[in-house]
């Protein structure tokens, strides 16, 4: 007898509730208990530890399916410019670095966590991003020397653009993650940071419609389409 591939088979709650819980926790700057209280107001009584279990179990699965579809579509188009930047994140009092690659439209391409920000870390991050998305025509970075050394190592030094104000796209992209970090009261483990950063970036891409650039009617249409697609994830 063939084994069932339904990821929800061991859970009493419906897939619709699980998708809603994961979306609320990852997309919005809410704590576990905030999500519990909001769901209770809607007649769904679950514990905050259930919220933690569901996002840990299903968040990466949902993100992987969405990311796979988006990467396939994006590979059909030329990548004009990437913006690379790193931010520090404290884990149990120790400094870690979250490297992020963002394209010219603000799409989060890759998130990578390391304990250092030297050439080896920058090289691993850039290779990881290029393996998944291909090579861009230009790469914008700040003045960190690790980027320059890594770009020379892979033969892309001619495509690097360095400038403080050129990298505003990446700097602004950090804001949504910082809001989530404050709501979660920081991270406890490097593995958790890597998992959440990857899931958060994918969910942010899925629901980010850049409403300030389009009309209200077009925004509502795209928002409805994003929600409809989310409801079919792992379906």
> What does 169-216 look like in DSSP terms, one character per residue?
HHHHHHHHHHHHHHHTTSBS-HHHHHHHHHHHHHHHHHH---GGGS-H
pLDDT of residue 171: 84
Backbone angles phi, psi at 57, to 5 degrees: -80, -45
Tell me: pLDDT of 2 over 50. Answer: no
Q: Which residues contact 144 (CB under 8 A, 6 or more apart)?
A: 86, 117, 122
- In this structure, of 112-116, 158-162, 212-216, the range with the lowest mean pLDDT score is 212-216
Q: What is the pLDDT of residues 80-102, one digit of tens each?
A: 899 999 999 999 889 999 999 99
Tell me: pLDDT of 7 over 50. Answer: yes
* Closest listed residue to residue 114, CA positions, set 129, 95, 97, 101: 97
Q: Which residue has the higher pLDDT, 108 or 2?
A: 108
The residue-averaged pLDDT of 230-235 equals: 90
Tell me: pLDDT of 137 over 50. Answer: yes
pLDDT of residue 4: 60
Question: What is the signed CA dihedral for 32, 38, 40, 44, rounded to 10 degrees?
Answer: -80
Torsional class of 8: left (φ above 0), alpha (ψ -120 to 50), beta (otherwise): alpha
pLDDT band at 3 (very low <50, low <70, confident <90, very high): low
Angle between helix axes 145-153 and 119-133 (nearest 10 degrees) is: 60
Q: Which residue has the higher pLDDT, 6 or 21?
A: 21
Strands 108-114, 94-103: pairing kind: antiparallel
pLDDT of residue 139: 94
The hierarchical CATH code for the domain 81-188 is 3.30.420.10
114: which strand partners?
Answer: 97
Write down the domain spans for the chain: 15-74+209-230, 81-188
* Closest listed residue to residue 156, CA positions, set 168, 141, 144, 167: 141
**DSSP assignment letter at 11:** -
- In the block, tokens 């990578």 appear at 112
Tell me: pLDDT of 67 over 80. Answer: yes
Q: What is the pLDDT of residues 12-64, one digit of tens each?
A: 899 999 999 999 999 999 999 999 999 999 999 999 999 999 999 999 999 99
pLDDT of residue 1: 47
- State if pTM tops 0.85: yes
Q: Which residues contact 134 (CB under 8 A, 6 or more apart)?
A: 75, 79
Mean pLDDT, the chain, as a whole number? Answer: 90
Percent of the chain with pLDDT over 70: 97
pLDDT of residue 173: 85
Beta strands in the chain (DSSP E): 81-91, 94-103, 108-114, 138-141, 160-162
pLDDT of residue 117: 93
pLDDT band at 10 (very low <50, low <70, confident <90, very high): confident
């Amino acid at each position: 007898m063939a084994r069932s591939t339904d990821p929800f088979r061991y859970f009493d709650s419906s897939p619709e509730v699980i998708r809603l819980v994961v979306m609320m926790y990852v997309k919005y700057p809410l704590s576990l208990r905030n999500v519990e209280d909001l769901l209770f107001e809607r007649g769904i009584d679950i514990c905050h530890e259930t919220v933690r279990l569901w996002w840990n179990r299903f968040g990466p699965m949902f993100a992987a399916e969405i990311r796979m579809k988006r990467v396939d579509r994006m590979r059909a188009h030329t990548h004009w410019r990437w913006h690379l930047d790193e931010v520090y994140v404290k884990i149990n009092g120790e400094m870690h670095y979250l490297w992020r690659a963002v394209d010219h439209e603000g799409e989060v391409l890759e998130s990578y966590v390391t304990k250092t920000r030297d050439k080896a870390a920058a090289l691993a991050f850039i290779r990881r991003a290029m393996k998944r998305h291909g090579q861009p025509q230009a790469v914008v970075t700040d003045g960190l020397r690790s980027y320059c050394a890594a770009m020379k190592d892979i033969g892309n030094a001619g495509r690097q653009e360095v400038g403080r104000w050129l990298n505003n796209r990446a700097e602004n992209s950090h804001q949504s993650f910082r809001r989530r970090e404050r709501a979660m009261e920081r991270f406890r483990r490097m593995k958790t940071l890597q998992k959440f950063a990857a899931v958060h970036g994918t969910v942010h891409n899925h629901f980010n419609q850049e409403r300030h650039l389009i009309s209200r009617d077009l925004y509502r249409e795209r928002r409805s389409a994003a929600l409809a697609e989310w409801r079919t994830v792992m379906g």
